[in-house]
């Protein structure tokens, strides 16, 4: 099925029968992607009297409870409720689910103190105002180890807050990246990049309450940089974040 859309005056088509899933599957147990010391995911069958909610254990159906931390256990999408004192839910914030998106590959720069940071000047060279509502950042090096890396205590790469301010100036409303966070793992609670993205605490006045950040994606190296149609799928959680499934569709001119 083909759909047509116009981006910056140019006509494009996307084939919805050719999805590119850039989410990391959420799996139970150790050895899965993890960050911020979140406990591992657990899938536990309900047990009530003689009833067992597991067909593998002789039950009539599978009926599992799930224990998960959206921020720490896999691909997730968050809203300003992640940092605001006021209540915002991802279900209430994200109301549209399809966006023109640009995929870009960046190399975090190692600083004198050992951090690996994406800076404003790097993004200025490859992204300009009005290019797309959504920006997907793939960091290098990039390989399948990202599917099961434990980032806790590893000080992974992050974005400088001025780089995020630049993206906001460019009109980015949905930022996706293959890192645990836009901010440094331990920053004393400053959260400068998060605050810059949502213009917190002036979120409402700035019209940023419907903007989202999606973290811990994985974009295979065979996927080329460029323009895509993004379908950002979430569960309807009345919570600041939800496990999510961002899916890309290649855009062809004409």
- The token pair at 225 is 């940089």
pLDDT at site 235: 97
Q: Is the pLDDT of residue 32 over 80?
A: yes
What is the share, in percent, of the chain residues with pLDDT greater than 70? Answer: 100
pLDDT reported for residue 7: 87
Region 70-98 average pLDDT: 97
Mean pLDDT across 169-180: 98
pLDDT at residue 178, as a whole number: 98
In 3D space, the residue among 178, 247, 216, 228 whose CA is nearest the CA of residue 73 turns out to be: 216
Q: Count other C-beta atoms under 10 Å from residue 209's C-beta.
A: 18
pLDDT mean over 117-132 = 97
Query: 36, 28, 43, 40: which is closest to 71 by C-alpha?
Result: 36
Interval 50-56 mean pLDDT: 98
DSSP characters for the chain? -EEEEEETTEEEEEETTS-EE-PPPP-SSSSS-B-TTPPPPEEEE-EETTEES-GGGT-SS--EEEE--TTTSS-EEE-GGGT-SS---HHHH----EEEEEEEEE-PEEPTTS-EEE-HHHHHTT--TTS-SEEEEEESS--GGGGS-B-TTS---EE-HHHHHHHHHTT--EEEESSS-SS-SSSTT--HHHHHHHTTTSHHHHT-TT-EEEES----TTSPSEEEEEEEEE---SSSEEEEEEEEEEEEE-
pLDDT band at 28 (very low <50, low <70, confident <90, very high): very high
Residues β-bridged to residue 3:
14
Mean per-residue pLDDT, 51-76:
98
Bridge pairing between strands 174-177 and 226-234: unpaired
Mean pLDDT over all residues of the chain?
97
- Tell me the average pLDDT across 222-240: 98
Q: Which of the four pLDDT bands, split at 50, 70 and 90, describes residue 1?
A: confident
Per-residue pLDDT of 136-167, as tens digits, reads 999 999 999 999 999 999 999 999 999 999 99
In the predicted model, what is the mean pLDDT of residues 80-108?
97
Query: Is residue 254 pLDDT above 90, yes or no?
Result: no
Mean predicted confidence (pLDDT) in 78-95: 97
């Amino acid at each position: 099925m083909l759909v047509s859309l116009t981006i910056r005056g140019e006509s494009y088509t996307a084939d919805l029968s050719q999805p590119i899933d850039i989410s990391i599957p959420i799996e139970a147990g150790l050895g899965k992607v993890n960050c911020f010391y979140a406990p591992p995911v657990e899938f536990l069958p309900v047990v009530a009297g003689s009833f067992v909610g597991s067909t593998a254990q002789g039950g009539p159906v599978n009926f599992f409870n799930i224990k998960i931390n959206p921020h720490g256990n896999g691909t997730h999408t968050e809203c300003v409720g992640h940092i605001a004192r006021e209540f915002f839910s991802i279900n209430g914030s994200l109301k549209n689910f399809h966006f023109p998106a640009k995929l870009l590959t960046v190399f975090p720069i190692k600083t004198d103190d050992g951090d690996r940071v994406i800076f404003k000047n790097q993004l200025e060279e490859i992204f300009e105002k009005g290019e797309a509502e959504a920006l997907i950042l793939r960091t290098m090096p990039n390989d399948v180890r990202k599917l099961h890396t434990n980032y806790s205590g590893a000080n992974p790469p992050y974005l400088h807050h001025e780089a995020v301010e630049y993206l906001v100036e460019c009109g980015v409303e949905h930022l996706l990246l293959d890192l645990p966070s836009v901010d440094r793992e331990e920053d004393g609670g400053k959260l400068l990049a998060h605050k810059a993205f949502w213009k917190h605490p002036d979120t409402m006045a700035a019209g940023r309450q419907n903007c989202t950040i999606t973290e811990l994606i994985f974009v295979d190296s065979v996927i080329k940089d460029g323009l895509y149609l993004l379908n950002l799928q979430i569960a309807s959680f009345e919570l600041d974040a939800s496990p999510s499934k961002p899916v890309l569709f290649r855009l062809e001119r004409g």
